[in-house]
Amino acid sequence: MKKLGIFLIFLVCFLAVPNAFAQSDKQKELEAKRQAILAEIKQINSLLFKTKKEEKSILSQVEDINQRIAATENLIQITNQQANLLTRNINSNIERITALRKELEMMKADYAEMVRKSYKSKSQQSRIMFLLSSENFLQAYKRVQYMKQYAAFRKKQGESIRVKTEELQKLNADLMTQKKDKQKLISENEVAKRQLTQERKAQQELVATLKKDESKYTAQIRQKQKEADKIDKEIDALIQAAIAEANRRAEAAKSKSTSKPTTSGGFALTAEDKALAASFSKNKGKLPWPVEKGMVVKSFGTHRHPQFPNVTTTSSGVEIATEDNSPVRAIFEGQVMSIQVIKGANKLVFIQHGEYISVYSNLATVSVKKGDKISTKQNIGTVAKSPTDGRTLLKFYIYKNQTKINPADWIYRM
């Protein structure tokens, strides 16, 4: 019965080990997410809240505070998950500690009984008599082997007790650490919740100001969208013209080359262009950011305004908030197709990567010229800063021939 009890305790401990490893991996995953969110909040504070509130429009203030609220809510959610997982780990450790203590008690009791029996037959004379009382040589040999095995088993039992004792001590230490970690997470979460309450209060005050003159602000949003649409149409027209010009050059070069370029409603591609486009395509989701430090404040596609549900906005690319005078870098090797100046978008650089085009808008300075061969991450200029609200925003687009595609699908962790 006692052996059965030890076996069951051992089984509980054995089955708990894989679960402990799984929980440890999950905790590491959650901690990595939490650190990423903390870095995001730090970046939001650095990039969006670097200027005084009076320098921004109310609409910009609401957009920025929405970003920080969303990040803080994510932080609280992840921290809660970590605390809950630690609670499960703590409970699991308590169960394992209880089981180990029972196992150790049984092992020590068995060991004490073994030592007591061994003590009774400890004298050299009793051992010799035990051997001499053998009926034959074979029995004497077996008794010698038995004494050796008994001594080895005692040693093994003693070692097992030592190992289990150390394991118990480690579990107790882990338990104390986990409790401290949990308390730290709870404290940090309380701070985040207080911060969130303040942010929501500030948001409500700003939204109330917007609602007082809803028609004025919705008109501003629609006007801004109208200006963005105009810029998008100019970019589309420039790309269409560039493709037509490239195809005319390719047509003129046909008679001089045995390698004929191919086209299917887009760029006429040489073998070299096709290889470059294929390389670009293979790096989907792994391309570097066009700025070293930045965050997306407006994503690709059509969105309903959070404060004015009857207003929708559309973005053909992404808007990235970055640091003042931030260098802009090419996301992939290619060739400068065009450099333009558009009202409302400052300077723009178009880089061709086979049948793909990356467009960098709202540049203050440009350090490349048309026809330049560009390498990945090469600096091509700097981002302009808005004189009205102090924001430093890069508008970034990716096209496949004349079709706009979502940059977030192509840039690493955008």
- Cα dihedral value 372, 378, 379, 380, nearest 10: 30
Same domain as 295, residue 229: yes
Same domain as 294, residue 320: yes
The answer to whether residue 159 scores a pLDDT higher than 60 is yes
pLDDT digits (tens, 9 = 90+) for 190-245: 999 999 999 999 999 999 988 888 999 999 999 999 999 999 999 999 999 989 98
**How much is the pLDDT for 131?**
58
Using a 10 angstrom Cβ sphere, with 0-12 exposed, 13-18 middle and 19 or more buried, the burial of residue 351 is: buried
The predicted model gives 369-385 an average pLDDT of: 97
The answer to whether residue 122 scores a pLDDT higher than 60 is no
Confidence of residue 99 (pLDDT cuts 50, 70, 90): confident
| DSSP letter assigned to residue 384 | -
User: Final residue of a domain: which of 192, 212, 232?
Assistant: 212
**How much is the pLDDT for 352?**
97
Angle between helices 137-212 and 124-132 (to 10 degrees): 120
Confidence of residue 10 (pLDDT cuts 50, 70, 90): very low
Q: Where are the alpha helices (DSSP H) in 308-349?
A: none
- Which domain range does residue 146 map to? 2-212
Structure token digits, residue 192 = 């985040």
269 phi and psi, to 5 degrees?
-105, 130
**How much is the pLDDT for 54?**
47
**How much is the pLDDT for 12?**
47
User: Final residue of a domain: which of 174, 194, 212?
Assistant: 212
**How much is the pLDDT for 223?**
93
> What is the β-pairing status of strands 334-342 and 312-315?
unpaired
Closest CA to 203 of 2, 53, 395, 365: 53
Cα 117 versus chain centre, distance: 62
pLDDT digits (tens, 9 = 90+) for 318-354: 999 999 999 999 999 999 999 999 999 999 999 999 9
The better pLDDT of the pair 50, 386 is held by 386
Query: What DSSP line would sit under 230-276, residue for residue?
Result: HHHHHHHHHHHHHHHHHHHHHHHHGGG-SS--B-SSS--B-HHHHHH
The percentage of the chain sitting over the pLDDT mark of 90, rounded to a whole number, equals 51
For residue 309, the one-letter residue type is P
The predicted model gives 353-373 an average pLDDT of: 97
pTM: 0.72
**How much is the pLDDT for 199?**
92
Instruction: Kindly state the greatest CA–CA separation across the chain.
Output: 113
302 phi and psi, to 5 degrees?
-100, 135
**How much is the pLDDT for 357?**
98
**How much is the pLDDT for 411?**
98
For residue 23, the one-letter residue type is Q
Give how far Cα 80 sits from Cα of 30, 93, 262, Å.
10, 20, 56
Confidence of residue 89 (pLDDT cuts 50, 70, 90): confident
Same domain as 278, residue 136: no
The answer to whether residue 1 scores a pLDDT higher than 50 is no
- Number of domains observed in the structure of the chain: 2
Query: Tokens 């499960």 correspond to what residue?
Result: 88
Least confident of 22-31, 103-112, 288-297, 325-334: 103-112
Same domain as 403, residue 389: yes
Angle between helices 137-212 and 58-120 (to 10 degrees): 160
**How much is the pLDDT for 51?**
63
Same domain as 368, residue 277: yes
Q: How many CA atoms lie within 13 A of 224 on its CB side?
A: 15
Q: Are 342 and 249 in contact (CB under 8 A)?
A: no
- What is the chain's mean pLDDT, rounded? 84
The answer to whether residue 157 scores a pLDDT higher than 60 is yes
The answer to whether residue 22 scores a pLDDT higher than 70 is no
pLDDT digits (tens, 9 = 90+) for 246-257: 888 877 776 565
Same domain as 52, residue 36: yes
**How much is the pLDDT for 101?**
76
Same domain as 233, residue 206: no
Confidence of residue 297 (pLDDT cuts 50, 70, 90): very high
* 414 found inside a domain: no
**How much is the pLDDT for 318?**
98
The percentage of the chain sitting over the pLDDT mark of 70, rounded to a whole number, equals 81
Q: How many CB atoms lie under 10 A from the CB of residue 199?
A: 17
Angle between helices 58-120 and 2-48 (to 10 degrees): 160
The answer to whether residue 15 scores a pLDDT higher than 50 is no
Same domain as 45, residue 138: yes
User: Final residue of a domain: which of 161, 182, 212?
Assistant: 212
CATH number of the domain bearing residue 337: 2.70.70.10
Same domain as 405, residue 274: yes
Q: Are 130 and 121 in contact (CB under 8 A)?
A: yes
Angle between helices 214-253 and 58-120 (to 10 degrees): 80
Q: Are 140 and 134 in contact (CB under 8 A)?
A: yes
The predicted model gives 89-116 an average pLDDT of: 75
The answer to whether residue 11 scores a pLDDT higher than 70 is no
Same domain as 225, residue 270: yes
The answer to whether residue 37 scores a pLDDT higher than 60 is yes
Where b means 16+ CB within 10 Å and e means fewer, 129-141 reads eeeeeeeeeeeee
Query: Tokens 């004189």 correspond to what residue?
Result: 387
* 87 found inside a domain: yes
The answer to whether residue 119 scores a pLDDT higher than 70 is no
The better pLDDT of the pair 53, 111 is held by 111
Structure token digits, residue 10 = 């051992």
Query: What DSSP line would sit under 141-183, residue for residue?
Result: HHHHHHHHHHHHHHHHHHHHHHHHHHHHHHHHHHHHHHHHHHH
* 203 found inside a domain: yes
Closest CA to 353 of 317, 302, 400: 400
